[in-house]
Every structure is written in C-alpha cells, then in structure tokens.
Structure 1
Amino acid sequence: MSSASTSTAYGRPCSRTTERAVILRRQRPVAFQRVGDRTLIRLEEEERLMLVDLAGQFRSVVADDHDPGLRRLYPTAYPNNPEWDADYASLVHDDLVRLRLEAADTVEATAGSPSLADDELADWMQVLNGLRLLLGTRLDISEEDQFDPEADDAPARALLAWLGFLLEEAVAAAGEPDGTNA
C-alpha cells in the first residue's frame, strides 16, 4: 500500500466512493433544466403548490417591513457610518421591496408553468434565496449547526435544505445556456 492511501478496512479504496457519488448525482433528477432559451421546471405538483404558498408568505413578510428576519434581506451598507447607511437605505429600500414583491408574484403566476423565461427564472432565484435568508435567520442557523432529525425545528431545517437545493439547481440551469446541466 502506498503512503498516499489509507486502508479502508472494509473494502476498496475511497476513489470508488467518489465514483459512486458521481453516478448517484447523475441519476438524481434536476429540478430545473435549460432547454434552448427556456428553463424547464421539473417539480411535482405538491412542490409547486408549496412554492406558491411560500411565495405568498414571502410577500407578506417583505410587505410588512417590520419583521426582524428581514435584516438579512436588507443588510447594513455602511456599518461604520449610520448617516450614510440611512441615506443609502432611503435611496434603494423601496425599489428592493418592489422588486421582491414582483418576484413573489412571478413565482405564484408561473409555478404551474412547464418552463420559465430568463427573467422569470431570475425572479424564482430571488424568492428562493430570500426565503432561505428569512428562514435561516428565524432558525438562527450557523455554519457549525448539525442537522438533528429529532429536533423540534427539523421540518423547518429540512425546508431550508430543500430551498437551498432548488436554488442550486436554478443557478445551475441559469448558467447553462445550451442545456448541458442535465
């Protein structure tokens, strides 16, 4: 055995595990697939309905503008200068709110569609990311946190992971103009 490899004690070298992971990744269906100038939505009906519901909840929180979870959606631009930060917020905040509300409308309107145009996909990514930020803030998630399926917040953390998966798939589809992400 070479000094560069470690005994697995139970079988073949670790490179086999890597090959298996690549095969499994290829077999997993993608949620979004680029075909020509459109992106196919490959979600089950229940998933689409859940996203419509989540987009509505996202709209409610963004429109309220007093939810403490919004701090991740509107971070401080100038942490060392409150006056500049207030000026910046007065210039962009209303536009950011409007764009997020429009993105939520797009998700609700297109959730049942077979495919999305580029601008619609961008709106989906904005809502998916916004939902992740809001949920992660409410759960007070940190990088060190480990998922515990027995924890009271396990369903919310599973939702957070699913939203992350969808966002990753949407970004991959957006980055593949010729449909090669499948």
Structure 2
Amino acid sequence: MSEVVHAFLGRPDLKQVEIRLDNESREVLLELVKQFRSMLIDDSDQSLQRLYPPAYLKDSELNDEYDDLVHDDLLKEKLESIDVLETTIWLESIELEDFFAWMLVINSLRLILGTRLNVSEEDEFDFGQIHNPEQTLFIWLAVLLEEAVTASNFSLEDFNKT
C-alpha cells in the first residue's frame, strides 16, 4: 500500500508548514487567486456576498452601517492574504502566520464556489455524481482546507517552544 502524501505538513519544531503541493496544483491555485483578486476589486459578483455575511438579518439599515464600517477592512485583509499566497506559492515551507493567509484565501475560494454551486452545509457529495469542473474544484478546495487546518493545528505548547 502506498503512503498518502498530504498537501501540507505542520512543522511545530520550526513553527512552519511544509507545502507539498505539486507544481500543477500550485499553478491551479495561483490562477484561482488571480481570478479572486479581480473579483474582489470589481466587487460586482454576487457570489462574493458569502464573504461578507450580514451582521443584522432583520435590520437592513443597521446592516448597511455595519457593512460601511467593516467592508474595507475585510477587503484589505483578503487582498493582503492573496499577496502572501502569491509571494509564497513556490516555497517549500512557510511561516505559520503566512500559512493562515493561505487558509483564508483557500476558504474564501471554497465559499465562492459553494455559493455558485448552491451548496449548503447539509449537502453530501456523491463522488460518483460529480460531472462538472466547478464541483471537482470545490471538493479539491475543501480537502485542501481540511489538510491546512490539520497541518496548522499545533498545540500552543508546541508553538511556544523555543
């Protein structure tokens, strides 16, 4: 039986995460990130709404005030995270703080695709019934995110060791 190679490997001894993606996967992620940046800057794609959930479901005026208050900061955080991922995409390992930026971007991409595919948290995929590239990409991003969470799951004790 062959060994499973994970996309990411946490290295608490170095306070880093090893990136084990092959070049093709890195290219795909880089292309998605470029598209994501364009979407964020354009700000007209309805699937972005999932990235800016309403704070007040029953009061649109309060929600608009909240959105005016936080939207630019959230946008800035996402754009900075994209910058980090683009800068570090070809590295073999990265600092944990930079890896959190990767996780934010991967999760954002997953949320956008999930919105486009009308996926809910209760949905279960029948892997034999996946027929379009967006579904395949959604599952790939979900697996990447799960592996990223696992790889970054250092205990505080491990992380604080010097």
SS class of match (2:54): coil
2:116 is matched with 138
- How far off is 1:151 after superposition? 5.6
2:90 is matched with 112
SS class of match (2:6): coil
Give RMSD over aligned pairs.
2.0
Q: How many residues align?
A: 154
Larger Rg: 1
1:159 is matched with 137
Structure 2: distance between partners of 1:120 and 1:165: 19
Does residue 70 in structure 1 map to residue 14 in structure 2?
no
Identity of aligned residues (%): 41
1:173 is matched with 151
User: Which of 28, 33, 42 pairs up with 2:4?
Assistant: 28
User: Which of 14, 20, 24 pairs up with 1:46?
Assistant: 24
TM-score, normalized by length of structure 1? 0.78
Does residue 80 in structure 1 map to residue 58 in structure 2?
yes
**Aligned-partner residue type, residue 84 of structure 2:** T
**Aligned-partner residue type, residue 21 of structure 2:** L
Could you list the runs of 5+ residues in structure 2 that have no partner in the other structure?
none
Could you list the runs of 5+ residues in structure 1 that have no partner in the other structure?
1-22
SS class of match (2:32): helix
Structure 1: distance between partners of 2:150 and 2:125: 26
